[in-house]
Amino acid sequence: MADWLHRTVAGLAPAAPGYKRIRFAPVPGGGLTHAEASLATAYGTASIRWDRTVDSLTVNVVVPPNTTAVLALPGSDEVELGSGMHSATVPYRNPSGEKVEFDPFHWVNN
């Protein structure tokens, strides 16, 4: 379960053995409005944080020195990244294509 949260929800996964290349591909969904993950690699710390609003997704990533990464955001083309800190904001719509309406004060109890 923790691996799924790390790789899928937060979106931090290897794209090559040993994290020499990293894939940042967060999958926002449900009632989550943010997630973050970091990982100590042989090259340094890789990290991601994403924040979702009603109509946008902002992602901040850190690519360790001597590595490369790909950033894949919903509804956008993949972007190649070099080492360093990177930030991107894209429009966000739920998988059905409709604008996501988020009410932080509405809780659903099952």
With respect to residue 110, please indicate whether it lies within any of the assigned structural domains: no
Q: Which domain holds residue 25?
A: 2-91
Query: What is the rounded CA–CA span in Å between residue 52 and residue 89?
Result: 10
The predicted structure's pLDDT at residue 5: 82
With respect to residue 56, please indicate whether it lies within any of the assigned structural domains: yes
With respect to residue 106, please indicate whether it lies within any of the assigned structural domains: no
Query: What is the rounded CA–CA span in Å between residue 80 and residue 52?
Result: 22
With respect to residue 101, please indicate whether it lies within any of the assigned structural domains: no
pLDDT tens digits, one per residue of 24-62:
999 888 888 999 999 999 999 999 999 999 889 999 999
Structural domains counted in the chain = 1
